[in-house]
Amino acid sequence: MLTTNAEHRPLRPATSLVHSGTMRSPFGETSEALFLTQGFVYDTAEAAERRFKGEEPGFVYSRYANPTTRMFEERMIALEGAEDARATASGMAAVSSALQCSVKAGDHVVAARALFGSCRYIIETVLGRAGVASTLVDGRDLDQWRAAVRPETKVFFLESPTNPTLEVVDIAAVAEIAHAAGAILIVDNVFATPLQQKPLELGADVVIYSATKHIDGQGRCLGGVILSNQQWIDETLQDFFRHTGPSLSPFNAWTLLKGLETLPLRVAQQSANAAKLADFLAGSPKVSRVLYPGRADHPDAAIIARQMKGGSTLVAFELAGGKEAAFRVSNALRIVKISNNLGDAKSLITHPATTTHKSLTEEARAELGIGPGLLRLSAGIEDGDDLLEDFERALRLA
């Protein structure tokens, strides 16, 4: 398997994402093969016995591992700089598996409260039912993380940048607090993408992705991945993963492998478009606030400079005219589509207060900075000037 260049240095991301992890069959196919198979056959009963005992390498059953799925995992391992990974059927399968395998009744979890809605459900409701207590803190306030620690705290969990207001948490500082408390830090790195932020290098123990977002990046299939060190995968995740079955389908793994090949091209174009639109929106009198991690006026600019490369593919902005203005602008956009998804080749806009965050109370939304005029834009790979013209026209109606 190709993992280094001619000088034996690790491959740079753009090269690695085209080549890493590829396993070729005896046919020597150029593209990664799609092994759409549930099981595997053995030459002899003795070989089957050895395979099950783990004395011989090879695949046993696609709930555990599959060649196409393994190629996707290997490519993600190379990109993230992790020791091992398990691919999952969705981002939420990754979040719920990583959390559930790490705790038991009586344990305690601390999480930043600016969470993707389903992550909040796993922490408060699913873990709560299993007897795991949780505390939600303002992720940017390090004292709140410290104050939340109890003797039984096992896991810290955070997203950065957050959805939808693109707040940034100091990952290295939170990792230090977690480790001092004897807990592990799990980071949901979806918004940053594996190219713009490396949580493991910042001290996180486990990183998870919804591969549904930038990794597929073309709006086709769901997927997820959990990355960590070998010991955590072997001792904490492995049995949980095998027996509960959150596995990624080989077909989706194949689609995601193709997505990874173009990830650097897409993220660069999306981030350039996002930066251009953020600057335009910041200059409009109809817009009261722009939150973009690539702008110097972002409230967490100092942390961003330390822990992120590049801006972001997402922009959050607030219209002075409130919900009515936000709806008028969304409806007037022609190229940008209204959708709650993100990371897609197509530019997508969503009104969090009435869609992704509608189940929160108004006070909880206000606490997270989700006002009635807030819109979240996921910039696509279209020509930036077409997007700019789309916004210029739409904002006249705001």
Ligand X SMILES: *Cc1c(COP(=O)(O)O)cnc(C)c1O
Considering the complex, what minimum distance in angstroms separates the CB of residue 162 from ligand X? 8
Residue with Cβ nearer ligand X (16 or 350): 350
User: Is 165 an interacting residue with respect to ligand X (CB under 6 A)?
Assistant: no
Q: How far apart are CA 332 and CA 17, in angstroms?
A: 37
| Nearest Cα to Cα of residue 367 among 380, 357, 354, 377 | 357
Considering the complex, what minimum distance in angstroms separates the CB of residue 188 from ligand X? 5
* 274-to-50, 122, 260, 271 alpha-carbon distances in Å: 53, 31, 20, 5
* 183-to-106, 145, 155, 159, 228 alpha-carbon distances in Å: 14, 12, 5, 17, 15
Task: Considering only the stretches 88-96, 135-143, 299-307, 325-333, report the one whose residues sit in contact with ligand X under the rule CB under 6 A.
Answer: 88-96
User: Is 255 an interacting residue with respect to ligand X (CB under 6 A)?
Assistant: no
User: Is 100 an interacting residue with respect to ligand X (CB under 6 A)?
Assistant: no
Among 71, 190, 333, 368, interactor with ligand X by CB under 6 A = 190
User: Is 348 an interacting residue with respect to ligand X (CB under 6 A)?
Assistant: no
Q: How far apart are CA 217 and CA 284, in angstroms?
A: 30
Q: How far apart are CA 382 and CA 50, in angstroms?
A: 52
User: Is 222 an interacting residue with respect to ligand X (CB under 6 A)?
Assistant: yes
User: Is 224 an interacting residue with respect to ligand X (CB under 6 A)?
Assistant: yes
User: Is 196 an interacting residue with respect to ligand X (CB under 6 A)?
Assistant: no
Q: How many residues does the chain have?
A: 398
Contact between 303 and 142 (Cβ < 8 Å): no
Considering the complex, what minimum distance in angstroms separates the CB of residue 197 from ligand X? 13
Among 100, 153, 210, 356, interactor with ligand X by CB under 6 A = 210
Residue with Cβ nearer ligand X (136 or 395): 136
Roughly how many angstroms between the first and final C-alpha of the chain, as a whole number?
Answer: 54
Considering the complex, what minimum distance in angstroms separates the CB of residue 199 from ligand X? 13
Contact between 212 and 222 (Cβ < 8 Å): yes
Considering the complex, what minimum distance in angstroms separates the CB of residue 393 from ligand X? 29
Among 163, 197, 249, 273, interactor with ligand X by CB under 6 A = 163
Task: Considering only the stretches 61-69, 84-92, 296-304, 376-384, report the one whose residues sit in contact with ligand X under the rule CB under 6 A.
Answer: 84-92
Looking at residue 376, its amino acid is R
Rg (CA), the chain: 22
User: Is 313 an interacting residue with respect to ligand X (CB under 6 A)?
Assistant: no
Contact between 169 and 162 (Cβ < 8 Å): yes
Residues that bind ligand X (CB under 6 A): 90-92, 95, 116, 119, 159, 163, 188, 190-191, 210, 212-213, 222, 224
